């Protein structure tokens, strides 16, 4: 089964600074990767996804991620964060189980943007 590892459980950063949230995936022939954001007491919202093609993926709210096959990484970046970006971020992989694919999540990274 495929899996993802989020290397940082908490990332504090000052407002307007750049940020990188790290995610590594287990090696596979084909892999579909996702980043989701979860604000307090809310569901999950898709930020961006990598299915194939260009390794630089742009998402909503100014986020982007780069798929790196040689390093089996899919790190999330934003050049300048806002207070409103404070949330939990989950990296996820599409994993084949039985007859249906499912999403398997990393342990999450709490991003806290400080004024």
Partner 1 sequence: DTEVTQTPKHLVMGMTNKKSLKCEQHMGHRAMYWYKQKAKKPPELMFVYSYEKLSINESVPSRFSPECPNSSLLNLHLHALQPEDSALYLCASSQETVVITEAFFGQGTRLTVV
Q: Which residues are near partner 1 by CB under 8 A?
A: 32, 34, 36, 41-46, 49, 51, 90, 94, 97-108
Q: Which residue has the tokens 């307090």?
A: 40
61 vs 80, which CB is nearer to partner 1? 61
Residue 102 Cβ vs partner 1, minimum distance, rounded to whole Å: 5
Radius of gyration of the chain (CA): 14
Whichever of 41 and 70 has its CB closer to partner 1, that residue is: 41
98 CB-near residues (< 8 Å, 6+ apart) = none
Q: Report the residue number, 31 or 113, with the smaller CB distance to partner 1.
A: 31
CB of 81 to partner 1, least distance (A): 21
Got the DSSP string for 48-90?
EEE-SS-SEEE-GGG-EEEEETTTTEEEEEESS--GGG-EEEE
Q: How far is the CB of 80 from partner 1 (least distance, A)?
A: 27
């Amino acid at each position: 089964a495929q899996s993802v590892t989020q290397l940082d459980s908490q990332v504090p950063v000052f407002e307007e600074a750049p940020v990188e949230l790290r995610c590594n995936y287990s090696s596979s022939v084909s892999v579909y990767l996702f980043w989701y954001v979860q604000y307090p007491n809310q569901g999950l919202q898709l930020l961006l996804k990598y299915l194939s093609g260009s390794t630089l993926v742009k998402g909503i709210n100014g986020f982007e991620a780069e798929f790196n096959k040689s390093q089996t990484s899919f790190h999330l970046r934003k050049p300048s964060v806002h207070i409103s970006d404070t949330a939990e971020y989950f990296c996820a992989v599409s994993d084949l189980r039985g007859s249906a694919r499912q999403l398997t999540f990393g342990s999450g990274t709490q991003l806290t943007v400080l004024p």
